[in-house]
Amino acid sequence: PDGLARLLEKWLPPAPKVPRPTKKIYGVDEVRAAIANGELINFYQPKVALATGRVVGVETLVRWRHPADGLVFPDQFIGVAEEHGLIGDLTRAVLYAALAQAKDWQEAGLELRVAVNVSMDNLTSLEFSGLVTGLVAAAGVAPQKIVLEVTESRLMGDLRTPLEILTRLRLKRFGLSIDDFGTGHSSLVQLRDIPFNQLKIDQSFVHGAHANETIRAIYLASIGLAKQLGMEVVGEGVEDLADWDFLRQTGCDLAQGYFIARPMPAADLPSWMAEWKAPGAG
Ligand code: C2E
Ligand code: MG
Ligand code: MG
Ligand code: MG
């Protein structure tokens, strides 16, 4: 191929792979019942400080223990919950359980910040800030220990209500994290308008960034932007030692990914933490 063709080769769609089994998306009635029947359970994935190797927090990731189908992942029911007005109940259930867990860890002497994913559809009414503040107070957990991760992927239009809710929560000292940074319609507008204090670089700009010029450029620009704004940076999707080393060398604050640990039930976390040794640390 000529020079230009060779240059553009990487943009061509990849050759078709073996077709993936299509995932079942659950119906609204089933999802509603799952929430009501307490079939949703929280898994937790560690976030590790790259400078020290210490586990400083976890992200709460919801799973559905389906009586017939086994463990069901959020991409098979979160969208349904969002579209059918169930996300308020879902988030409340996840947050409630995460707070109880945070309290348990606190009492066991584990110093962990606990992150919970919040949907933009949760941010449509100002009551949400009161709900969150109330649940956290009732659980006896300090707001500083709780991080709310917000993905902007479905957000368009008027930001005023989300902005007011998130600002109120930030004033109460909750952590605010912009999730999947780089993949949304309006990441930069959100950085300008919403008082986030943590930025999570999307896994598509983390895994393999060291080996790909384009991905690396976007990754480095994102780190630079976050640092300029005084934000803490998390790299998600750290899948191998090369990813880990690259993030450490480029001044990323926290790492999260399968290389460190998969999301796990709360009961498994203490023993995992006891075994965890960061690469390069003794
Ligand atoms: P997210 O918040 O960006 O969470 C990270 C996702 O990446 C999780 O998928 C996690 O298991 C996965 N992951 C972690 N490390 C790696 C890695 O090294 N490689 C790869 N390939 N993936 C990794 P999961 O648990 O399936 O969740 C998917 C998404 O569902 C989450 O993305 C979040 O947007 C949403 N979600 C999960 N739990 C909740 C929840 O309680 N409420 C809401 N509203 N959304 C949730
Ligand atoms: Mg998240
Ligand atoms: Mg993410
Ligand atoms: Mg995501």
Is the model's pLDDT at 240 over the cut of 70?
yes
State the Cα–Cα distance between residues 5 and 221, nearest whole angstrom.
Answer: 27
Ligand located closest to 61 CA: 1
The CB of 61 under 6 Å from ligand 1? The reply is yes
Q: What is the band of 19 on the pLDDT scale with cuts at 50, 70, 90?
A: confident
pLDDT in tens, 99-149: 999 999 999 999 999 999 999 999 999 999 999 999 999 999 999 999 999
Query: Near ion ligand 3, which residues have CB within 5 Å?
Result: 179-180
Note the ipTM here.
0.98
Please tell me the distance between residue 61's alpha carbon and the centre of ligand 1 in angstroms.
6
Q: What is the band of 186 on the pLDDT scale with cuts at 50, 70, 90?
A: low
CA separation (Å) from 39 to 34, 68, 86, 103?
5, 12, 14, 21
The CB of 101 under 6 Å from ligand 1? The reply is no
**Which atom of ligand 1 is closest in space to residue 87's alpha carbon?**
44
What is the CA 271 to chain-centroid distance, rounded?
A: 23
Average pLDDT over residues 170-186: 91
The CB of 258 under 6 Å from ligand 1? The reply is yes
Please tell me the distance between residue 57's alpha carbon and the centre of ligand 3 in angstroms.
15
Identity of residue 102: A
State the Cα–Cα distance between residues 227 and 265, nearest whole angstrom.
Answer: 33
pLDDT in tens, 23-68: 899 999 999 999 999 999 999 999 999 999 999 999 999 999 999 9
The CB of 73 under 6 Å from ligand 1? The reply is yes
Question: What is the rounded average pLDDT for all residues in the chain?
Answer: 94
Is the model's pLDDT at 14 over the cut of 90?
no
272, 44 Cβ separation under 8 angstroms: no
State the Cα–Cα distance between residues 121 and 82, nearest whole angstrom.
Answer: 6
Ligand 1, pocket-test mutation among 61, 201, 206, most atoms within 8 A of CB: 61
